Amino acid sequence: MDLIGFLKSQFLCHLIICYIFIVSGLIINTIQLFTLVLWPINKQLFRKINCRLAYCISSQLVMLLEWWSGTQCTLYTEPKDYGKYGKENAIVILNHNFEIDFLCGWNFCERFGVLGSSKVLAKKELSYVPVIGWMWYFLEIVFCSRKWEEDRETVIRGLVNLRDYPENFWFLIHCEGTRFTQQKHQISMQVAESKGLPKLKYHLLPRTKGFAVTVKCLRNVVAAVYDSTLNFKNNENPTLLGVLSGKKYHADLYVRRIPLEEVPEDEEECSRWLHKLYQEKDAFQEGYYRTGTYPGTPIVPPRRPWTLLCWLFWALLLLYPLFRLVVNMISSGSSLTLASFALVIFVGKWDS
């Protein structure tokens, strides 16, 4: 392991990264709180400002993936569609097989300049979580409790609010609802059998109601559905801890652009369309495991420097006062302080 790789794997580096993320996130959340005064005066200005503030948070996580770990993301798509990415509103359907698939989805958004305005359908509990959850609140993210009878009106209201959004946005949705595991897959396929639906090998049964409502509410606002299927070369099993430790992964993302006009308006037909889409996604995954590649032309969208520059800005701003504090505490000679630092170092070594 080279020196840089060794440093990336150290607990102290992880601690510093977490410190920068949490403190900068809380500062940004506070600024977002003050922007609320703009809502009754100029709602669109409020939204534009919060897109950029949100970028300052989410870009730090993307920075870890594409700069810190150096993970390579190859996009497989049709060249005629490539030029449209980032220039239109879209619903992005992501498979949910890996611990970092949400991060790869954000990386996809970042490469095409829509990370700050990207939307998701998230659990209501996350809205109470500082930094990410509070950021999403100000981004008008659609929150739900996963009980459709209670969620339907809330989801519709949240989606309708996005119809006049001033920035191009991608609405990221995991139609499977939860991350793939063998146990969940077994239960899901039992449900498929009981309902007479085709079984899937690499996906869970999609939950169609949320998708159908999303399409209905955003029709004539969203131009297309981006069917996105993610996998990793050489059977890599990426983790957030691996990314934080600087481990490089090799992601392949197959994206099909489907004009929204091709998605049925009727809810039942839309449901059948989505089930058919997941059968196709399953076939793409089958082909990937067999050949190691997806259909379409492989393209590596260039990294933009803004995620790295944003992180460096916050690092320079926040590390200097931290360094001064540490120096002052050590120079004070307090036995409690020295013991605390020794404990942190010990825990870091033990964790490594």
Query: How distant is the alpha carbon of residue 49 from its chain centre?
Result: 20
Look at residue 331 in the predicted model and tell me its pLDDT. 73
DSSP letter for each residue of 10-46: -HHHHHHHHHHHHHHHHHHHHHHHHGGGGTTT-HHHH
Look at residue 68 in the predicted model and tell me its pLDDT. 96
Side by side, the strands of the sheet bearing 119-123 are 142-144, 119-123, 170-173, 90-94, 224-232, 250-259, 72-77, 297-299
- Say which amino acid occupies 346: F
What's domain 70-305's architecture?
A: 3-Layer(aba) Sandwich (3.40)
pLDDT tens by residue, 53-97: 999 999 999 999 999 999 999 999 999 999 999 999 999 999 999
Kindly give the confidence (pLDDT) of every residue in the chain, 352 residues in length, as a single tens digit, with 9 standing for 90 and above.
578 888 888 888 999 999 999 999 999 999 999 999 999 999 999 999 999 999 999 999 999 999 999 999 999 999 999 999 999 999 999 999 999 999 999 999 999 999 999 999 888 888 899 999 999 999 999 888 767 777 888 889 999 999 999 999 999 999 998 899 999 999 999 999 998 888 999 999 999 998 999 999 999 999 999 999 999 999 999 999 999 999 999 999 999 999 999 999 999 999 999 999 999 999 999 999 999 999 999 999 999 999 999 999 999 999 988 777 777 766 765 555 556 555 555 555 555 5
Contact between 221 and 289 under an 8 Å Cβ cutoff? The reply is no
Q: Are strands 170-173 and 119-123 parallel, antiparallel or unpaired?
A: parallel
Look at residue 334 in the predicted model and tell me its pLDDT. 59
Look at residue 199 in the predicted model and tell me its pLDDT. 92
Burial label for 179, CB within 10 Å (0-12, 13-18, 19+), is: middle
pTM: 0.91
Task: Locate the domains of the chain by residue range.
Answer: 70-305
